[in-house]
Amino acid sequence: MTIGAGSPVPTLPPGEAERSPPLFLPEAATGRALDSGPAEALVRPPASSGIRSLSQREPILNVPGIVSLLCGAMILIHAVRQYVLDEDADREVLLTFAFIPARFEGSIAGTFFPGGVAGDIWTFVTYAFLHADWTHLGLNVLWFLVFGSAVARRFGAGRTLLFFIATAAAGALGHLAAVGTAFVPVIGASGAVSGFTAAALRFVFEMGGPLGAMRANGEEAYRMPALRLVDMVRNGPVMGMVAVWVIVNVAFGAMSLPMPGFEGQIAWQAHLAGFAAGLLLFRFFDPVRDEVLPA
């Protein structure tokens, strides 16, 4: 899967590429070929240039190992729940690893839910690896492959894992703030994925970035200085992506949670909280320090 891949660039027979003039030079109108010399330098960047032509561009989506690992874990866990565990065992998994705000209701906490205090802590993250169905999982994995890969190539594996934990926890906190200690379980990686989406929007459309003009070579495209938060509202492509994100969340934000014996929903508040966390926490994880990034 690639992002930003354009139409195939036509190629000429060997030798013809060296003689064909660029369309913007006067010689193009006469059909005369360019001799090697100063004019040729105008149309071909030096070998050391950090700018790639269309024919040199690599696919945007070159999945880093940490992204593959996280996606693989989500898929494996869901497959085990679907095809290995029976209904009672799956119910126990959900009670143990889903984020359930009722855990923090003093009258039942520690007596009804598995894991005790430790479970109260780990469910802030483990809920992100559980999904309602294959459609729910597929949407999160595909979205994470796109934006998670971009962020991971900038952050590196360690920071990416920590950022996933932080944005997932932020999503759980947003859900807890919205519903209090009600028995409204939340599952799915949407909070974390929303955080990675927000983080990616801070650099992917910048000059030289992976989706920006004059994309730089290889990994350098992912290390362009990030967009300041105050400038995001004036950036058309970024605000367009924010609009797409909002539409997607309106459409898919509330999904039924098939927990045997219970009813619940995946809260859209978790998505919003994860997105906000991604925007605000980006500067603390970003290893690129070419300029000071205001919060």
pLDDT string in tens for the chain (295-residue length)? 434 434 343 444 444 444 444 433 333 333 433 344 443 333 344 444 444 443 344 454 579 999 999 999 999 999 999 999 999 999 999 999 999 999 988 776 556 788 888 999 999 999 999 998 999 899 899 999 999 999 999 999 999 999 999 999 999 999 999 888 888 889 999 999 999 999 999 888 777 777 766 666 677 778 888 888 878 878 887 888 888 877 767 665 544 444 443 444 546 788 889 999 999 999 999 998 754 444 4
The residue type found at 172 is A
CA nearest to 116, candidates 104, 133, 134, 129: 104
Residues composing the chain: 295
CA nearest to 190, candidates 232, 148, 155: 148
For the 65-285 domain, the top CATH level (class) is: mainly alpha
CA nearest to 272, candidates 185, 173, 141, 159: 173
CA distances from 81 to 94, 107, 263 (A): 10, 30, 18
Q: Distance from CA of residue 182 to its chain's centroid?
A: 30
| Cα Rg of the chain, angstroms | 24
Residue found by looking up tokens 């095809």 in the block: 83
Q: What is the pLDDT of residue 237?
A: 78
Specify whether the CB–CB gap between 164 and 271 falls below 8 A.
no
| Six-digit token string for 69 | 């690992």
| Six-digit token string for 153 | 């190539």
Domain edges within the chain: 65-285
Q: Distance from CA of residue 260 to its chain's centroid?
A: 31
Q: CA-based angle 72:74:77, to the nearest 5?
A: 105
Q: Report the alpha-carbon distance of residue 42 to residue 44 in Å, rounded.
A: 6
The backbone torsions φ and ψ at residue 178, rounded to the nearest 5 degrees and listed phi first, read -80, -35
| Six-digit token string for 147 | 């934006």
Which residues, 6 or more positions from 62, have their beta carbon under 8 angstroms from its beta carbon? Answer: 149, 153
The four Cα atoms 275, 280, 284, 289 give a dihedral, to 10 degrees, of 110
Q: What is the pLDDT of residue 184?
A: 86
Specify whether the CB–CB gap between 184 and 163 falls below 8 A.
no
